[in-house]
Amino acid sequence: MQSSYPIYTELADCQDCYKCIRRCPVKAIRVENGHAQVIPDACVACGRCVIHCPAFAKRARNDVGWVKRLIIEEKKVFVSLAPSYISEFSEFTPRQLELALKKLGFFAVSETALGADFVSAQIASDIKTSCEDSGQKLFISSACPAVVEYIKRYTPDLAPYITNRASPLLAHARLLRRLYGTIAVVFIGPCIAKKREAGQWDEIDVALTFKELRDWFKAEAIIDAEGVPEIVSDTQDAQDAEFLPRRAAKGALYPIDGGMIRSWKNYSDPPAALSMAISGTDAIEKTLSGFDVAALTRPLFLELLFCSGGCINGPGASNAASGMARRMRLLEYAEMADDTLDNATLAKHISLTDTLSATKVPEAIYTEAEIQGALRQVGKFNIHDELNCSSCGYDTCRDFARAMLDKRAERTMCVSYMRNLAQKKANGLIRTIPSGVVIVDKELKIVECNENFARLMGKELSNLFEILPGLEGADLRKITGAAHYFTDVLSSNSADGIECDIREGKKILHLTVFVVEKGEIAAGVIDDITLPRVRKDKTVSRAQKIIDKNVAAVQKIAFLLGENAAETEAILNSIIESYSEGDSN
């Protein structure tokens, strides 16, 4: 039984994209020093962050090594095989998969769906009893561990309506131990949350995902690099595996939405109860939000599965085939199963109670003044500043402010704040550089310039600069006859710039033009050489001092924002280089 949390972050691979926060239904992510990490006490182990992390930094704990130790230490290690195996390992017949598992060292293979059948029979009895005595009106399935944790942590008012019935896995593990004595039980399926469940119950030793099993098969050459099985036997085409103690019945339907309802209805006459199957985090949240149990006029059974479409789409599955293909395979497999277990009386000898434990996540309450204070930290001083762009991972700026107050978020996560900060840093540096600086795009429209450039170009432009600081959008060709040098640099395939002297009116100017972004952005640095010269080394020293003072902030901005701020740093470094090269006089 593992003690560490089943989901973790590979910090070196975390790229500050915050996609895990956007995808997490409960925002159980804390960002520290730019790295997003799971908060175990708030997480429901649904695995959405693992699925959606583009850098694969969110990972499920690999427990194969733990299972290998069990196989060495235990005489009998049983596999509790999730029924969705039929949709995951389509390249194997059931018999071949059983043989492949035994080749890994497992003693026997049994279907988790047996436990599902026992739970179905019990649920049918519970609902029938309720309908007869007009007792409990709402029943929420306890089969999905992520749903159980979600309700207990975030909608605790509905927690009493979760059926106090063991999950199919727990029921199955108890059955196997009842039948076969001192054994170890390893679950294999598509669910990461089962790792959390295995960590709670002594009856379940370890839980592996289908992905872990695939990797193990490859490592042992049971399947090749293309996933083709190497298992060959006299019964390789047989559909029936020797599952102990027998094959499951319609409990095999549990991995698809509506499957549990179809299963338990086989164990009962049509009850006077309604039933609904809801799958997917968004759908579950909408269904449970504001749910009024008192308004129910008849008993209602809710089958809730956190993964959209059911367990066949779980985060621990490879999902190589389409969702429709996986669903069809499972339906065809379940069609061949019995409607009910003929030896369901076995369930009378095991406990079918107990659900996964979880405590309510406390919600901090902040005053409006505290929220406004947090918003001001990211440059949001009024409602118009609250863009609600969700780039930080939170739906609204106010949600982000609460996360900052909770110490779950950092202000550098706000893209608009960092963009504005980058712009301010760039503007400040360009303004302070003693030479004239102008940056233009490929159309020779000014992107940014400093006041010194406007002053060097004449009184008229200097006056215009006072009205339109930066002269953004102005046409350089209408300002100086030297604009063609910028065109030459932008159109040249060479990385070398141009350095020359030009005449503007009565002034002789020294111009250095260089590429900032090939074919897109160029910059020019201008000095009036008709004036008493300030030594170039002094100019460089002053500029370098400014750069040194601000470069840490700019580099961080560049890292967080990518091209836009990296462009700023490139401009500044290019300006320094242009001064440092050549003769000083």
What local confidence, expressed as pLDDT, does residue 496 receive? 75
Q: Are strands 274-279 and 300-305 parallel, antiparallel or unpaired?
A: parallel
Determine what percent of the chain falls in helix, strand and coil, rounding each to the nearest 5.
Answer: 45, 15, 40
Tell me the sheet residues that pair with 109.
79
What local confidence, expressed as pLDDT, does residue 350 receive? 87
If you write DSSP's letter for every residue of 429-495 in order, what string do you get? HHHHSSSEEEEEETT-BEEEE-HHHHHHT-HHHHHHHHHSTT-TT-BGGGT-TTHHHHHHHHH-SSS
Strands (E), 219-341: 274-279, 300-305
Q: Are strands 446-449 and 436-441 parallel, antiparallel or unpaired?
A: antiparallel
Q: Write the CATH number of the domain with boundaries 418-580.
A: 3.30.450.20
pTM of the shown model: 0.79
What local confidence, expressed as pLDDT, does residue 497 receive? 87
**How many residues are listed for the chain in this entry?**
585
What local confidence, expressed as pLDDT, does residue 565 receive? 46
Domain ranges of the chain: 7-59, 62-349, 368-411, 418-580
Residue whose tokens read 């429901």: 44
Task: Print pLDDT tens along the chain (585 aa).
Answer: 455 899 999 999 998 899 999 999 999 999 998 899 999 999 999 999 999 999 999 999 999 999 999 999 988 999 999 999 999 998 899 999 999 999 999 999 999 999 999 999 999 988 888 877 767 889 999 999 999 999 999 999 999 999 999 999 999 999 999 999 999 999 999 999 999 999 999 999 999 999 999 999 999 998 876 666 776 554 545 557 889 999 999 999 999 999 999 999 988 876 668 899 999 999 999 999 989 999 988 889 999 999 999 999 999 998 777 888 999 999 999 999 999 887 555 656 789 999 999 999 999 999 999 999 999 999 999 999 999 999 999 999 999 999 999 999 999 999 999 988 887 887 788 888 889 999 999 999 999 899 999 999 999 999 999 999 889 999 999 999 999 999 999 988 666 789 999 988 888 999 999 998 888 999 999 999 877 654 454 455 555 555 555 555 555 555 555 444 445 555 555 555 555 554 444
Q: What order do you get walking across the sheet with 274-279 strand by strand? A: 138-140, 300-305, 274-279
What local confidence, expressed as pLDDT, does residue 585 receive? 43
What local confidence, expressed as pLDDT, does residue 327 receive? 93
How far is C-alpha 345 from the geometric centre of its chain's CA atoms? 44
What local confidence, expressed as pLDDT, does residue 79 receive? 98
Which residues lie closer than 8 Å to 353 by C-beta, 6 or more apart?
164, 165, 166
Q: Could you tell me the fold of the domain covering 7-59?
A: Alpha-Beta Plaits (3.30.70)
Q: Find out whether 143 and 119 touch, Cβ atoms under 8 Å.
A: yes
3-class SS at 13?
helix
